[in-house]
Copies of this chain bind each other. A is one copy, B any other.
Amino acid sequence: MTTEMTKPTGEAGTNGKAAAEDLAARQHDLDKERHLEYYRQMMLIRRLEEKTAESYTQGKIGGFLHLYIGEEAVAVGVVAGTEPQDHLVTHYRDHGYAIAKGSEPGPVLAELYGKSGGVSKGRGGSMHLADVKRHFWGGYAIVGGHIPLATGIAHSIKYQKKNEVVVCVMGDGSTNIGMFHESLNIAALWKLPIIYLVENNLFGMGTALSTHSSLTEIHQKARGYGMPGDKFDGMDILTVRDHVKTAAERARSGGGPSLLEAMTYRFRGHSMADPQLYREKTEIEEWRTKRDPILLLTSKMYAQGIFSEEDTKQVDEQVDAQIIAASKFAEESPFPKPEELYDNIYVNENY
């Protein structure tokens, strides 16, 4: 299973019909591989989330657990629209982003189990997991708290003249907090290579968009900083990818930051503890049946003949196997040792 491919080479061969056919076939293979990879990532995220929900009710996972089910196209699209060396910083609803960025499901699940094999050695948990070597800087659980950090990473990139871009993901509810404002002003002022991507899932916890934000068109908040804003369907992975790509190219070529708004919906409660008093079951059902990002991708792909049900079945099996393996890894991973409690308070003990 490769990660997102580079662009097809695109040279038109000599000129014979065979060469053209060959090219078309190669193109089809590439298309298939790429789109099936999107599918695979989304399925892996979903199945892993289902697994975590199960583990939570079994008491294997503690604290708060925020599921990403329904929003998979955003994470996968963000990663598809950027490069492996690009940076990702997200809020606490972060498992999907770790997976999209290439983290192994085993260590992600182990993190949720509080095991030492977790991506953050069991110290962080669901809301705070990172995989720094993959430039996934982690989930952050203080709403808005990560926005200045992501902005600072972008500042470092510019300072060091690196060819990288940061994507900072947050929810609609997070755009009303002071750190959002301070960060976007700084990013626009210094023309930093960063994309602020808002997952507008219509609620911040139980508070509806129109109850928490004066501008319900979140991307228009960009106007307060002279920054480009862009809104799009967050349920369509290809749309997400393309819009992110455009903003990433702008950022990479010195055009500065953007504020993107991906319209999406979480199919589950805010966290496992959410009684969901604030929305109608029918609303959820409507989204689930008509706007499931995975179904949207497969139906489009089947219709266009890019991949088939056979293909997805194969992927599904692989994913199921991955989840079983991840679960085994997480179960078998040892808990941190008591004597490690004081590890990693400081880097330099005696400085």
Report A's interface with B, CB cutoff 8 A. Answer: 176-182, 184-189, 211-215, 220-227
Contacts and interface: CB of A to CB of B under 8 A. Distances in A.
Contacts of A214: 184-189, 225-227
Q: Which 8 residue pairs are nearest across A and B when measured between Cβ atoms?
A: A178-B178, A224-B224, A181-B181, A188-B214, A223-B223, A189-B214, A214-B225, A221-B224
B176 A182 contact: yes
A107 to B, nearest CB: 35
A19 to B, nearest CB: 51
B212 A189 contact: yes
A220 B224 contact: yes
Nearest to A144: B178
A150 to B, nearest CB: 16
A38 B290 CA distance: 65
A181 B188 contact: no
A178 to B, nearest CB: 2
Contact of A181 (B176, B186, B211, B223): B176
Contact of A182 (B178, B189, B222): B178
A188 B182 CA distance: 19
Contact of A224 (B177, B211, B212, B215): B215
Given A177-B181, A214-B225, A214-B226, 4 more contacts: A178-B182, A181-B182, A185-B213, A189-B212
A187 B215 CA distance: 12
Nearest to A215: B226
Contacts of A212: 189
A275 to B, nearest CB: 25
27 contacts: A176-B181, A176-B182, A176-B185, A177-B182, A178-B178, A178-B179, A178-B180, A178-B182, A180-B181, A181-B181, A185-B213, A185-B214, A186-B214, A188-B214, A189-B212, A189-B213, A189-B214, A214-B225, A214-B227, A215-B225, A215-B226, A220-B224, A221-B224, A222-B224, A223-B223, A224-B224, A224-B225
A227 to B, nearest CB: 7
Contacts of A222: 224
Nearest to A176: B185
Contacts of A179: 178
A322 to B, nearest CB: 42
Q: Which of A179, A223, A227 has the most CB of B within 10 A?
A: A223
Contacts of A176: 181-182, 185
A226 B221 CA distance: 9
A329 to B, nearest CB: 41
A212 B226 CA distance: 14
Contacts of A213: 185, 189
A177 B182 CA distance: 6
Contacts of A226: 214-215, 220
Contacts of A187: 214
Contacts of A177: 178, 181-182
Contacts of A180: 178, 181
A106 to B, nearest CB: 39
Contacts of A188: 214-215
Nearest to A214: B188
Contacts of A184: 214
